[in-house]
Chain A
Amino acid sequence: MSHAANVNFYKASSGLKNWLITLDHKRIGILYLYTTLLSFVIGGIFALLVRLELFTPGPTIMSQQNYNRAFTLHGAIMVFWFIIPAVPGILGNFFLPIMIGAKDVAFPKLNLLSYYLLILGMAVNLYGLMAGNGADTGWTFYTPYSIRTGANVVSMVLGVFLMGFSSILTGLNFIATTHTLRCPGMTWFRMPLFVWAIYATAVLQVFATPVIGITLLLLAAERFLGIGFFDPKLGGDPVLFQHFFWFYSHPAVYIMILPGMGIISEVLTTFSQKTIFGYKAVAASSLGLAFVSFLVWGHHMFTSGQSLVANFLFSLFTMATAVPSAVKMFNWVATLYKGSISLKTPMLFALGFLFTFAIGGLTGIFLGALSIDMHFQATYFVVAHFHYVMMGGTVVAFFAGLYYWFPKMTGKMYNEMLGRVNFVLFFIGFNITFMAQFVLGVNGMPRRYYDYLPKYTGWNQVSTVGSWIIALSVIVMLFNFIWSALHGEKAPMNPWNSKGLEWTTQSPPVLENFEHTPTVTAGPYEYGTPVHA
């Protein structure tokens, strides 16, 4: 390998085969990049169709059946094919080893297997979504509807489980890598917060995902052996499925958001040239959120008829998640204090994240309050809230991360002007789209409605117009990335003057990441102070 060690990883070998069976964590990261960005575009097209249908009450562009399929595909693709795998898959794979000074992940072959399990899971999930008349269950597959509609719920859940298994293996790999492959001097408290966030995510993936496997077994037993677990006709309890589903899918929400939070810590420190305020508090709050996320699944079910005690406890624990989330917000804002703030595109997205994630978090407190949830549950208020968290949180952080590390990943600079246009369009479009949905929710419009009363028309039209602005911003972004990767200026080793370890190697990195294994002597955010201060 030594002959190739000093060549950048794109040039180390060539040919499609060398990409498809690569064991290089950076190349696997690039495979995830193509896969998940394509999923994002497909899921986005379904979102645009859903919004277009809702431009007027009654039929607009599609039938009721097709609308139900469209929002099912939008939700399932965005959650399972895009948000869960995107940040760990792309940025975690590419940067976790580099940020701790390793040559690769602990188990490179397992890493490649994880990628193909994702592809297999997507295929099985897609089969379930398309089989028969096409699934119209919503991404939550609630029984007994999902059983009666003739949807192939077993293959849908099998697909989700295979994708989840892929993230278990990725999680194990990241945990092992973080424990065993840190370079000399990289103590736990010198690790970048992105690494902490990916580590916390990995723990969640390993513990939460098996539950979806159990659910799958029970569904299969019900379907093929006639043992009643969920179907009341067989003596089962349909609410039990909701418990199982959310026992996985609520921690999965934190699988989606924690890596994004890690990105924000990296970007804010770099572009304000300040050390992070409260490093240990931010790291601990990642682990705290990961832990408490296992205790709040029942807040999706306050109106399902579950017991009072359950509602009391789930509401209490849900409120508890506000504290570590708020700690992070305060620490990020405090990091800006007396900084040297540069408003490059990654920083614009990171600041935009603070704005939109704050709204997502605060409206989560509304929904956690039991009496308020009696009205807001299953209305557009919920839809707006989780888009503020998932899109305004994770996706905005993901965009920040893509722009931030674009020079390192491609060796080229992106176009700053287009990047800023991208941000402004996205920020305006996003807030128009989902602010309108908060208003619809407050006024009682339920989600998953093909048709609605005429009084809701105005805000639905505002929301739909907003979705077009988001679409435009994504087109600008994709154009920027493709054009810049081909024709951009050559990127220097450290264009942002960052203190992160990944910026001490070439852009793009050499095959084994560093020409010589680095030795770390200070923390990751030692701005404004001499080392060993």
Chain B
Amino acid sequence: MSSLALNFLPAASVSADKFNLLLHFLIVTSIVSFVLCIGAGFIFVVKYRRRRDNEHTPYIPHNYLVEFLSIFATSVVVAIIFLWGWYDYSDFIAPKLGEYEINVIGQQWSWTVQYAEGKTLMNEMYVPRGRPVRVIMTSKDVTHDFFIPAFRVKQDAVPGQYTNLRFTANKTGDYDIFCAQYCGGAHSGMIGIVHVVEPDDFQKWLDGMYRAPVAAAGAAAPTMTLAERGHGLYQSKTCVTCHTIDGSRLIGPTFKGLYGSKVELNDGQTVVADENYLRESIVAPMAKIVKGYPPQMPMFTGLVSDEDINALIAYIKTLK
């Protein structure tokens, strides 16, 4: 799975292609300047190494021509890089004609993705290939950063304000979404997938008619058991970020042995973790807080269907 390749990141947007062009220019320019400067130093060290003590050395306090030329050359090169970077950046962030707008809300530690047509996803995003997209984002709690490496763009999601991220995806496929602004706890678990699909498929998806080629969670194959579907939802709905299935503690309580157990709450009461408790904990998590855990869980009302909840409960029942 892992390798020592130098570049294993796909480029799947217009900005990624522009980024790569400037990056290659920077790498070549840097290597040339490095070799010229450090290479000269290396040659001097070898050529003028001390052969005996008290060697005579020439007195060369300065050379205005050399100094002027080196300052001039450096200034020209960095000016080119500055202008190029600014030019591309202005293009990345400029509003485009016919933009498709998607709302994103960051919260510890998941992304909620909302579509004007009514769909709401968690840690998952569908975008049409070839059409400019504007992501309008904010945060419910602390500052996050919505980062899609394959598109070479990122933007902070700041509580109390809206920020924009723009891209035009140009290759279909699934790409990573990361949180790139440290937000505590499960920061590294705040990751997701962006699916770039053909515009026709995107429309089908909006209409609820699209089946992803790889069985994405939620779109279960008919042969799956309810618990198997629940396992997929455990990952796709980000339960996995905070709840383990092996008994260890993360942000929230583990799912192992949860069903049927007695749960002690922070107000001193004890409840049995039955179907009603599990359901309530998903749709209204602030109603009962387990003793010793922070009131951290987001509300999943509207994000999971009744069928999903049944599948999740079925899955939790298998974790003995």
Query: B288 at interface (Cβ–Cβ under 8 A)?
Result: no
Whole-angstrom CA separation of A87 from B48 in the bound complex: 30
A312 x B48 contact (CB < 8 A): no
A354 x B179 contact (CB < 8 A): no
* A279 contact from B61, B70, B154, B186, Cβ within 8 A: B61
Query: A451 at interface (Cβ–Cβ under 8 A)?
Result: yes
Query: A277 at interface (Cβ–Cβ under 8 A)?
Result: yes
The digit string for A434-446, where 1 denotes a CB below 8 A from any CB of B, is 0000010011101
Among A19-27, A106-114, A210-218, A232-240, the stretch in contact with B: A232-240
Scoring B3, B26, B156, B186 by chain A CB atoms within 10 A of each residue's CB, the highest score goes to B156
Query: B45 at interface (Cβ–Cβ under 8 A)?
Result: yes
A340 x B57 contact (CB < 8 A): yes
Report B-chain residues with C-beta under 8 Å of the C-beta of A308: 90, 93
A368 x B179 contact (CB < 8 A): no
B40 x A333 contact (CB < 8 A): yes
Report B-chain residues with C-beta under 8 Å of the C-beta of A378: 145, 147, 154, 180-182
Q: A303 with B37: in contact, given A374-B153, A375-B153, A457-B2 (CB under 8 Å)?
A: no
Whole-angstrom CA separation of A312 from B87 in the bound complex: 10
A454 x B26 contact (CB < 8 A): no
Scoring A145, A332, A526, A528 by chain B CB atoms within 10 A of each residue's CB, the highest score goes to A145
Q: A462 with B9: in contact, given A305-B163, A374-B89 (CB under 8 Å)?
A: no
* A375 contact from B33, B44, B93, B149, Cβ within 8 A: B149
Whole-angstrom CA separation of A305 from B249 in the bound complex: 36
A305 x B158 contact (CB < 8 A): yes
Whole-angstrom CA separation of A278 from B63 in the bound complex: 8
Closest to B26 in A: A366
Query: B81 at interface (Cβ–Cβ under 8 A)?
Result: yes
21 intermolecular pairs with C-beta atoms under 8 Å apart: A64-B186, A142-B182, A144-B159, A148-B141, A238-B142, A238-B160, A305-B155, A319-B78, A326-B70, A339-B48, A340-B56, A362-B30, A374-B15, A375-B154, A378-B147, A444-B149, A444-B178, A447-B182, A448-B182, A449-B188, A459-B2
A444 x B9 contact (CB < 8 A): yes
Closest-CB distance, B10 to chain A (whole angstroms): 10
Whole-angstrom CA separation of A224 from B75 in the bound complex: 49
B81 x A369 contact (CB < 8 A): yes
The digit string for B43-75, where 1 denotes a CB below 8 A from any CB of A, is 011001110011111111111001100110011
B180 x A148 contact (CB < 8 A): no
User: Would you list the 6 A-B pairs with minimal beta carbon distance, nearest first?
Assistant: A444-B149, A369-B85, A232-B160, A371-B88, A370-B89, A457-B2
Among A1-9, A267-275, A408-416, the stretch in contact with B: A267-275
A277 x B49 contact (CB < 8 A): no
Interface hits, B1-53 → A, CB 8 Å: 1-4, 6-9, 15, 18-19, 22-23, 26, 30, 33-34, 37-38, 40-41, 44-45, 48-50, 53
Query: A138 at interface (Cβ–Cβ under 8 A)?
Result: yes
B149 x A443 contact (CB < 8 A): yes
Query: A221 at interface (Cβ–Cβ under 8 A)?
Result: no
Closest-CB distance, B16 to chain A (whole angstroms): 8
Query: A16 at interface (Cβ–Cβ under 8 A)?
Result: no
Query: B216 at interface (Cβ–Cβ under 8 A)?
Result: no
B1 x A457 contact (CB < 8 A): yes
Report A-chain residues with C-beta under 8 Å of the C-beta of B49: 341-343
Report B-chain residues with C-beta under 8 Å of the C-beta of A148: 141-142
A451 x B142 contact (CB < 8 A): no
Whole-angstrom CA separation of A326 from B184 in the bound complex: 38
Query: B286 at interface (Cβ–Cβ under 8 A)?
Result: no
Query: A116 at interface (Cβ–Cβ under 8 A)?
Result: no
Closest-CB distance, B203 to chain A (whole angstroms): 29
Closest-CB distance, A236 to chain B (whole angstroms): 8
Whole-angstrom CA separation of A365 from B59 in the bound complex: 34
Query: B210 at interface (Cβ–Cβ under 8 A)?
Result: no
Whole-angstrom CA separation of A56 from B308 in the bound complex: 33
Query: A479 at interface (Cβ–Cβ under 8 A)?
Result: no
The digit string for B226-260, where 1 denotes a CB below 8 A from any CB of A, is 00000000000000000000001110000000000
Report B-chain residues with C-beta under 8 Å of the C-beta of A292: none
Report A-chain residues with C-beta under 8 Å of the C-beta of B111: none
B155 x A273 contact (CB < 8 A): no
B37 x A329 contact (CB < 8 A): yes
B143 x A238 contact (CB < 8 A): yes
Closest to A359 in B: B34
Query: A130 at interface (Cβ–Cβ under 8 A)?
Result: no
Closest-CB distance, A522 to chain B (whole angstroms): 12
> Residues on A close to B: CB < 8 A?
59, 63-65, 68, 136-138, 142, 144-145, 148-149, 232, 237-239, 272-281, 303-305, 308, 311-312, 315-316, 319-320, 322-323, 326-327, 329-334, 336-343, 351, 354-355, 358-359, 362-363, 365-366, 368-375, 377-379, 439, 442-444, 446-459, 462, 497, 526-529, 533
Whole-angstrom CA separation of A336 from B189 in the bound complex: 51
Closest-CB distance, B206 to chain A (whole angstroms): 28
Report A-chain residues with C-beta under 8 Å of the C-beta of B182: 137-138, 142, 145, 378, 447-448
A238 x B57 contact (CB < 8 A): no
Report A-chain residues with C-beta under 8 Å of the C-beta of B60: 274-275, 277, 334, 337-338
Report A-chain residues with C-beta under 8 Å of the C-beta of B58: 274, 338, 528
Whole-angstrom CA separation of A340 from B59 in the bound complex: 12
Closest-CB distance, B67 to chain A (whole angstroms): 6
B78 x A365 contact (CB < 8 A): yes
Closest-CB distance, A434 to chain B (whole angstroms): 15
Q: A365 with B250: in contact, given A304-B156, A337-B60, A340-B48 (CB under 8 Å)?
A: no
* A450 contact from B23, B26, B142, B187, Cβ within 8 A: B187
Closest to B144 in A: A145
Closest to B250 in A: A64
Report B-chain residues with C-beta under 8 Å of the C-beta of A278: 61-62, 67
Report A-chain residues with C-beta under 8 Å of the C-beta of B53: 497
Report A-chain residues with C-beta under 8 Å of the C-beta of B50: 273, 340-342
Whole-angstrom CA separation of A341 from B52 in the bound complex: 10
**18 new A-B contacts at CB < 8 Å, known A68-B184, A370-B89:** A277-B60, A278-B61, A303-B145, A323-B71, A336-B41, A339-B48, A340-B48, A365-B30, A365-B81, A371-B89, A372-B19, A374-B15, A443-B149, A444-B9, A444-B147, A446-B180, A448-B187, A529-B59
